[in-house]
Amino acid sequence: MPTTVADIQDYSPRELTELAERIKQWGRELGFAQVGITDTDLEAHERYLERWLAAGRHGEMGFMAKHGSKRTRPHELIPGTLRVISVRMDYLPPEVETTKLLAKPDKAYVSRYALGRDYHKLIRKRLAALVKHIEDEVGAFGYRAFVDSAPVMERALAQKAGLGWFGKNSMLLNPQAGSLFFLGELYTDLPLPVDAPFENEHCGNCSQCRTACPTGAIVDDKVVDSRRCISYLTIELHGSIPEQYREAMGNRVYGCDDCQLVCPFTRFTRASHERDFAPRHDLDRASLVRLFAWSEEEFLAKTEGSAIRRIGYIRWLRNLAVGLGNAPWSETLEAALRARLSYPSELVREHVRWALARQYEKRQRLIARS
């Protein structure tokens, strides 16, 4: 059995195929729903990215443009990369509400991927375990693991590795699993055989995602204008949320799943029993008022190890204020907003004033009707 890098060059095509099969088997044993292998040629996706950036659709996400061709050419990012092992892991915890919660305007809707512990750590650990298996078999080899952490075209690589197709909502869709899964990658110098790309696109005449998008952010098939997307507005945007999108945000306070929830393929979602993905602090059902009442210390304590932590307390309050502005009027809710009127951050105060103005209007309408 070969045990060094040099030895891998002596593997026959059949031995490399068997190694690829074992890698996939180890991946499944480690909890990945699917593992595929592809090369580093992303030329077609490079052109798409260039057009998207040229149109400014990345908004404030300067990091999307920052690394030039390193994003679309894995061998430029990590010299020596020959193959990318692409993995996916389902994340929706069992028995959490999705669309039903969106219809409860006094509750906060947190994107379902962010309910539990931050997935980056878990997937990175599993990728490290996969590396260990490979090393035990072939000896030291060149690799780098990524989980949404570097300039990596993860969906494009996954499509090329056979894991799914690009839906009109720009998400990667799998015919047996929908799109509620995380992706991770292992860049490697192993000359593994590649899988066939996922060529069939099953969207057909469906365009439910485009119709359902609350802010009209899906401006063309597979093209999302981030500047209108609620995920971007609530997570990536640092400043004030443009007023024209606030009402459409409804109760979505961290991310948005609408274009995935309406997708017919989402019914094939497989629940994840990973403990790390289980909801923490009732984030799958908490009321807007309750979350808005968290002090900064509580926010920091309760979001420790969670993806939500990265937006910080001020943007958390900003997003919740918008949700509260959109909720039906109640005395408790109005009082919660009033209590934040003199909050030190002008960003928060401005959103609170907007929310209160909407709440006053609703109260007036109730009075007029009674």
> What are the residue numbers of the active site?
148
* Residue 208 found at the interface with ligand SF4 (CB under 6 A): yes
SS3 178: strand
| 306 dihedral zone (left: phi>0; alpha: psi -120 to 50; beta) | beta
Nearer to ligand SF4 by Cβ, of 187 and 254: the residue is 254
Q: Quick one: how far is CA 145 from the chain centroid? A: 18
* Residue 337 found at the interface with ligand SF4 (CB under 6 A): no
Instruction: List all residues 6 or more positions away from 50 whose beta carbon is below 8 Å from its beta carbon.
Output: none
* Residue 115 found at the interface with ligand SF4 (CB under 6 A): no
How many residues touch ligand SF4 (CB under 6 A)? 25
Per-residue mark of binding to ligand SF4, 187-206 (x: CB under 6 A): ----------------x--x
DSSP conformation letters of 84-146: EEEEEEE-PPTT--SHHHHT-TTBPEE-GGGSSS-HHHHHHHHHHHHHHHHHHHH-S--EEEE
Task: For residue 158, give the nearest of 189, 181, 129 by alpha carbon.
Answer: 181
Tell whether 237 is in a known binding site: no
Tell whether 315 is in a known binding site: no
Tell whether 71 is in a known binding site: yes
* Residue 231 found at the interface with ligand SF4 (CB under 6 A): yes
Nearer to ligand SF4 by Cβ, of 52 and 143: the residue is 52
Q: Give me the least distance between CB of 213 and ligand SF4, in Å please.
A: 3
Tell whether 276 is in a known binding site: no
* Residue 19 found at the interface with ligand SF4 (CB under 6 A): no
Q: Judged by CB under 6 A, which of 8, 130, 145, 229 binds ligand SF4?
A: 229
Q: Give me the least distance between CB of 205 and ligand SF4, in Å please.
A: 8
Q: Judged by CB under 6 A, which of 151, 164, 167, 184 binds ligand SF4?
A: 167
Task: For residue 296, give the nearest of 279, 316, 310 by alpha carbon.
Answer: 316
Q: Give me the least distance between CB of 163 and ligand SF4, in Å please.
A: 15
Tell whether 183 is in a known binding site: yes
Contact 134, 23 (CB under 8 A): yes
Task: For residue 343, give the nearest of 294, 304, 310, 309 by alpha carbon.
Answer: 294
Instruction: List all residues 6 or more positions away from 157 whose beta carbon is below 8 Å from its beta carbon.
Output: 38, 42, 74, 84, 86, 183, 185
Q: Judged by CB under 6 A, which of 34, 40, 159, 215 binds ligand SF4?
A: 215
Residues in the chain: 370
CA 72/CA 130 separation, integer angstroms: 24
Quick one: CA dihedral 322, 323, 329, 331, positive or negative? negative
Q: Judged by CB under 6 A, which of 263, 308, 337, 348 binds ligand SF4?
A: 263
CA 57/CA 314 separation, integer angstroms: 25
Q: Judged by CB under 6 A, which of 45, 117, 168, 351 binds ligand SF4?
A: 168
Task: For residue 326, give the nearest of 355, 288, 295 by alpha carbon.
Answer: 355
Nearer to ligand SF4 by Cβ, of 215 and 326: the residue is 215
Q: Judged by CB under 6 A, which of 33, 224, 289, 320 binds ligand SF4?
A: 224
* Residue 42 found at the interface with ligand SF4 (CB under 6 A): no
Tell whether 288 is in a known binding site: no
Contact 291, 108 (CB under 8 A): yes
Nearer to ligand SF4 by Cβ, of 217 and 324: the residue is 217
Residue numbers at the binding site for ligand SF4 (CB under 6 A): 167-169, 173, 203, 206-209, 213-215, 217-218, 224, 229-231, 256, 258-259, 262-265
Q: What are the binding residues for [4Fe-4S] cluster?
A: 203, 206, 209, 213, 229, 256, 259, 263
Q: What are the binding residues?
A: 71, 148, 169, 172, 183, 203, 206, 209, 213, 229, 231, 256-257, 259, 263
